[in-house]
């Protein structure tokens, strides 16, 4: 993936001149790097083919993605840990977390619907299979036959890197995830509590019955989440994996 040289140079020049917190917008790279959107789609497509876990991912809504987000000038494991919700979390903790980013309960439930695709490790569920909340017992909300299946997949003391599907149709983006939650067949504790907690239950029920309403709420949530900006200084990296090189005097100022 090497973009034509002039576009590449232009990208770098924006990186150095743009002020922070420029509003994100569709078509941000239309002039400076017209190939950008094609390149991203093409790389994504090729990687999807290469990665067996996403090989056949399909379905789901479309929306226009706003571009121009700036990358951080630093990396922080601590920040990442504070933001990344734990699979042990319950719906009440997740509502608070999302609310702190101005995302509503409905947004939170809809966005959790991204677990309609993909997998998670036994590591993320062994506590709920064998020792929920330190009780020494399994989570009582897991449906009996599903629990047998999870016990076989993730035996106590087994390989916690083994993965299981987040819903019964892990390559289809659909509302099956919500139907599974209603049936007590949620994989993660955080997922299942969306149905056991009263404040989130109504949205799970709604989305389980109406896929279009789920898709619409998912798109709204993705746009709201995508509009979040940290307000901290940033840059558009010329290499995603590293901060851009900068003159020594710039480093001293920042
Ligand atoms: C609501 C709070 C959320 C929690 C607690 C959560 C937690 C998790 C956990 C624990 C895993 C599996 C990690 C592992 O065991 O290796 C996972 C996987 C995944 N999450 Fe979330 N997540 C949340 C929200 C989201 C959101 C908002 C999105 C995207 C919009 C998302 C997309 C995904 C996807 C696609 C996977 C599957 C990855 C794969 O198959 O490799 N999650 N999530
Ligand atoms: C939800 O999780 C939080 C944090 O772990 C805990 O303090 C709270 O008691 C839990 N709520 C319920 C109703 O289980
Ligand atoms: C949430 O909204 C309030 C009020 O509009 C605003 O002051 C705050 O900065 C927002 N928080 C985030 C994380 O965007
Ligand atoms: C269950 O978790 C609690 C609290 O973390 C711990 O004290 C206890 O030893 C665990 N029990 C088992 C059987 O692992
Ligand atoms: C699980 O994966 C991690 C990270 O890749 C690795 O460090 C660990 O050794 C693996 N554990 C087993 C039992 O394979």
Q: In angstroms, what is the span from residue 33 Cα to ligand 1's centroid?
A: 31
Q: For the chain, give every residue range classified as CATH 1.10.420.10.
A: 85-230
Segment 79-94 mean pLDDT = 93
| Protein residue with its CA nearest to atom 1 in ligand 5 | 161
The residues pairing with 235 across neighbouring beta strands, listed in sequence order, are: 71
CA distance 254 to 250: 6
- Percentage of the residues of the chain whose pLDDT score is greater than 90: 69
> Which among 195, 248, 211, 236 is positioned nearest to 73, based on CA atoms?
236
Q: Which of 64-78, 143-157, 164-178, 238-252 has the lowest mean pLDDT?
A: 238-252
Q: In angstroms, what is the span from residue 115 Cα to ligand 1's centroid?
A: 6
Residue 225 has pLDDT above 80, yes or no: yes
Is pLDDT larger for residue 112 or for residue 52? Answer: 112
Angle at which helices 91-99 and 198-209 cross, to 10°: 90
- pLDDT band for 17, please (50, 70, 90 cuts): very low
Segment 38-51 mean pLDDT = 86
CA distance 129 to 147: 8
Q: Which of 131, 132, 133, 156 to mutate to test the pocket of ligand 4 (most atoms within 8 A of CB)?
A: 131
Segment 235-243 mean pLDDT = 90
Q: Is the CB of 99 under 6 A from ligand 5?
A: no
Which tokens belong to 155? 């035996």
Task: Check: CB of residue 76 under 8 Å from CB of residue 232.
Answer: no
Segment 82-96 mean pLDDT = 95
> Which among 7, 96, 1 is positioned nearest to 41, based on CA atoms?
1
What does CATH list as the number for 85-230?
1.10.420.10
Q: What is the pLDDT of residue 1?
A: 38
C-beta atoms surrounding 20 within 10 Å: 12
């Amino acid at each position: 993936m090497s973009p034509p040289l002039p576009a590449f140079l232009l990208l770098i020049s924006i990186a150095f001149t743009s002020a922070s917190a420029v509003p994100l917008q569709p078509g941000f790279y239309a002039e400076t790097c017209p190939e950008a959107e094609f390149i991203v789609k093409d790389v994504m497509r090729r990687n999807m083919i290469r990665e067996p876990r996403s090989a056949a991912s399909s379905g789901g809504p479309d929306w226009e993605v706003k571009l121009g987000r700036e990358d951080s000038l630093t990396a922080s494991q601590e920040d990442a840990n504070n933001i990344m919700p734990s699979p042990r979390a319950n719906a009440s903790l997740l509502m608070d977390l999302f609310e702190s980013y101005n995302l509503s309960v409905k947004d939170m439930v809809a966005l959790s619907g991204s677990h309609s695709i993909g997998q998670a490790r036994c590591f993320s569920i062994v506590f709920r299979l064998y020792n929920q909340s330190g009780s020494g017992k399994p989570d009582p909300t897991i449906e009996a036959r599903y629990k047998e299946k999870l016990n076989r997949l993730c035996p106590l003391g087994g390989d916690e890197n083994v993965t299981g599907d987040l819903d019964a149709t892990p390559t289809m983006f659909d509302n099956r995830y919500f139907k599974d939650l209603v049936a007590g067949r949620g994989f993660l504790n955080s997922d299942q509590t969306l149905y056991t907690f009263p404040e989130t239950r109504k949205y799970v029920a709604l989305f389980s019955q109406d896929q279009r309403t789920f898709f619409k709420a998912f798109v709204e949530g993705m746009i709201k989440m995508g509009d979040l900006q940290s307000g901290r200084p940033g840059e558009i990296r010329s290499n995603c994996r590293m901060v851009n090189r900068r003159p020594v005097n710039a480093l001293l100022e920042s």
